[in-house]
Chain A
Amino acid sequence: MSEQFIAKDALSRWLTELSATHTVIAPVRRGDQVVFRPVANVSEIAWDAGRTDFSAKDFFLPASEAIVTWRPSEAGIAVETAQLGRPQVLFGARPCDGQALAVLDRLFLDDPVDLYYAERRAKTTLVGFACADGPWDGCFCTTVGGGPGERQHLDILLMPVEGGYAVDVVSEKGQRLIASAQLVALNGQRPLPLPEVQPLPLAAQDAWRAQFNDAYWGELAERCLGCRTCTYDCPVCYCFDVRDRRLPNGAIERLRCWDSCQGASCFAIAGGHNPRPTQMQRVRQRYMHKFLYYPVREGAALCVGCGRCVAQCPVNIDIREILTHVAEAAR
């Protein structure tokens, strides 16, 4: 439990100082949405905006990145690989955003290590808020091992108290970063209460296996648009595609871009074959992957209960209903 306190203006000053050496990424308002973006000035930060509409995945697995570029040069061909320049601070992350990275670490930091992800991960410090202002539409973090005040996957957890935040320094990385901040002792202020997030039933892996041929997937697919909103706003959906493109200046880029199991083209392979030709198969794939295939391989659900897919789906395909359905079918 934290014994330290930082006032809101001291926190702003600290972030301003940090931005001399770090890229500070924080929730900002863009139109009627809240997204993580690098901020030039702390005044851009949307302090009271709650959960961002889209996850921070972009800063670890960018939506679109030239991982290698071949450029004609006088000496022949120059080869450049994508590198993150300055270290990053992800400010305003929520416990589920931290957990999402822990879930992706299992895949990307396992052998063979994904060098691009690993570099971004190593160079980023997570400074998050406890969700005293939650929950939001669709939240169910407690179902998948998280919680509105869960500290373990962040480097620093800030808990709102009267006039500022109680500072819980979780990791050594957090300790190094916070060293320059003006902290004082907590003076008896109690952190604001955290919301109750009721856990949903989570079926065992065997129950998921048993539901493979459930007609329910077809019912969902009937209204599913086959867009990619759920996978692109998801903090842990990690599918990507790699292709080369030629630039007008003669260079060639190897692009790594997000891909989505919900798109018909995702599984298409040479010869025109598509092993998942129907939307039913693609809808089923998304949830089987999250609650069966990934847990079997990596030991954790590929879902942190952030609820963004619930809030954003244009046809209200609600992952909470799916969890409940599979759990009830198993009974």
Chain B
Amino acid sequence: MAETFEPRIVGFLCNWCSYAGADLAGTSRSSYPANVRIVRVPCSGRVDPLFIAQALKEGADGVIVLGCHPGDCHYADGNYYARRRYAVMRDLLIFLGVEPERLRLDWVSASEGARFAKVVGEFTEAVRRMGPRHVAADHSIATPTAPAPPPLAADYAPLTAELRKIAKTLLEEKRVDIVLGWEKGTLGSRPLFARTAEQAARLVFDSTALLNLVNFLRNVKNQRVAVVIRPADARALNVLLHEGQLDRKNLFLIGVGADSGRGPLPASAYDALLGKAPETIDGGMPRFVAVEEIDGWPAEKRAAFWNAQFDKCLRCYACRQACPLCYCQECLSEQLDPAWQSIAIDTEEKGFFHLMRAFHLAGRCTGCKSCVDACPAGIPLGLLNQKVAKVVEALFGGYDTGLDPGKPLPFTTFRKDEVLPGCGHE
């Protein structure tokens, strides 16, 4: 007889309700499968969704999070926050090819011993039916693409001339210490920190000026800097200003190009403009074409595709280093205590890193594509960020990232009555 597959399941149980519910199931002699390894947490709100990804990375076949029923949280709101974060992580994991049957969030109170046994029993059965989790990388699956946005300008030469003029004046009048722009390099253009009028004459703006220069502002904090930014860059800057990372009064913003994102900042957001005022050039263009194509694939194909992408990854961190919003002093990926990741340069660790980065950019990424342009391995990282943006927009609505800095980020707020997929509303 074939051996039955015994899944290994990690359960995160809130101390006040679900853990007590599990206890009651035990003392009431209810029988339930012993596949769940229980981790007791003070509140479901303590469950960083990365715990779920971590458990899967370390070999769990399924992960279940149980908390107090909405409205019953011992700390008033913890489970509402947990629900939001879980909902985004769930969709992201599904996008990466994890089958939804392997994930569950539900609510079990201290008096629901029988319900605990039922929920755990159902979940274990569902995971058992899925079998072990392993999908090989398939490099032959082509990356879905969306129509490319038009170039920022038809003719770059006038922009360069205008930029040099503005920069020269700013430096000569000592209104700024640095003009942060681009110069012609040996292969395409590269960032230039112009400090003198002579250096300003080297500035260029062309189609190879790809990275988000806002990222370099942290190297020159406390100096007065004029910076060349595109609309998506400017929205990222707004996020940084909102998060208290930079001081707007030290900055002189030289806006350029039209926005390929959600909507433009008003011209008044800039201190000077190269060419005409920013406008939305693709208002009618569907934003998530490529993401939707992947959404339509079977889970196994999604897993095979992403495993191939993560297989290509060098773990060089160029994406993180090129991202203006990845500014942690110490990245979780390199943290030693506790160590979230081993140093292994393998598909699991690389996949976890990218998942973590996408998750930490939820509601923050403005689609500047700096990560994509910096990646030496050609991984379509933008798709991960777009997926998260799509989920956040669909579930919580109305996040114009970087346009409306007064608005709370999706994970710092909640609505009590929101109904989120896979979040125990059944």
Interface residues of A (CB under 8 A from B): 30-33, 53-54, 63-64, 137-138, 219, 222-223, 225-229, 232-233, 241, 243, 245, 247-248, 255, 257-260, 263, 265, 279, 310-312, 314-316, 318, 320-321
Contacts and interface: CB of A to CB of B under 8 A. Distances in A.
Contact of B190 (A259, A265, A316): A316
A227 B317 contact: yes
Contact of A138 (B58, B187, B344): B187
B384 interface: no
Interface in B185-219: 185-193, 211, 215-216, 219
17 contacts: A31-B312, A33-B312, A63-B314, A64-B345, A223-B190, A225-B318, A228-B317, A241-B343, A245-B342, A247-B59, A257-B343, A258-B345, A259-B343, A260-B316, A314-B373, A316-B185, A318-B186
A233 B378 contact: no
Contact of B376 (A222, A223, A233, A310): A233
A137 B334 CA distance: 33
B15 to A, nearest CB: 26
B314 A225 contact: no
Contacts of B188: 316
A203 B143 CA distance: 46
B316 A229 contact: yes
Interface of B: 8, 58-59, 139, 143, 185-193, 211, 215-216, 219-220, 312, 314-318, 320-322, 330, 334, 342-346, 373-374, 376-378
Contacts of B187: 137-138, 310-311, 316, 318
Given A223-B191, A314-B211, A315-B211, A228 B342 contact: no
Contacts of A315: 190-191, 211
A229 B344 contact: no
Contacts of A247: 59
A256 to B, nearest CB: 9
A286 to B, nearest CB: 14
A233 B219 CA distance: 25
B211 A222 contact: no
A115 to B, nearest CB: 21
Nearest to A259: B343
Nearest to A270: B336
A243 B376 contact: no
Nearest to A311: B187
A223 B342 contact: no
Given A31-B378, A227-B374, 5 more contacts: A63-B315, A225-B374, A229-B376, A243-B342, A257-B343
A31 B143 contact: yes
Contacts of A318: 185-187
B376 A248 contact: no
A57 to B, nearest CB: 11
A254 to B, nearest CB: 11
Contacts of A229: 314, 316, 318, 376
A227 B344 contact: no
A315 B220 CA distance: 17
Contacts of A255: 342-344
The listed residue with most B CB atoms (<10 A of its CB), out of A222, A227, A243, is A227
Nearest to A54: B314
Contact of A243 (B219, B322, B343, B378): B343
A174 B215 CA distance: 50
A188 to B, nearest CB: 40
B216 A222 contact: yes
Would you list the 3 A-B pairs with minimal beta carbon distance, nearest first? Answer: A248-B59, A316-B185, A227-B318
A245 B345 CA distance: 13
A246 B316 CA distance: 24
A255 B344 CA distance: 7
B58 A248 contact: yes
B187 to A, nearest CB: 6
A219 to B, nearest CB: 8
B378 A225 contact: no
Nearest to B319: A227
A31 B376 CA distance: 12
Nearest to B375: A314
Nearest to A37: B139
A138 B192 CA distance: 21
A276 B318 CA distance: 20
B221 to A, nearest CB: 13
A232 B316 CA distance: 7
A164 B43 CA distance: 70
The listed residue with most B CB atoms (<10 A of its CB), out of A53, A245, A318, is A245
A258 B219 CA distance: 27
Contacts of A227: 316-318, 320-322, 374
A187 B321 CA distance: 55
A257 B342 CA distance: 10
B190 A225 contact: no
A228 B377 CA distance: 12
Contacts of B143: 31
Contacts of B189: 316
Contacts of B373: 314
Contacts of B320: 227
A223 B216 contact: yes
A215 B414 CA distance: 51
A53 B321 CA distance: 21
Contact of A228 (B314, B322, B330): B314
Given A32-B378, A64-B344, A228 B316 contact: yes
The listed residue with most A CB atoms (<10 A of its CB), out of B315, B322, B334, B344, is B344
A30 to B, nearest CB: 6
Contacts of A232: 314-316
A296 B187 CA distance: 32
B322 A225 contact: yes
Contacts of B192: 223
B322 A64 contact: no
Contacts of B185: 316, 318
A290 to B, nearest CB: 18
Contacts of A248: 8, 58-59
A139 to B, nearest CB: 12
A222 B180 CA distance: 11
B186 A316 contact: yes
A320 to B, nearest CB: 7
Given A30-B312, A229-B318, A222 B219 contact: yes
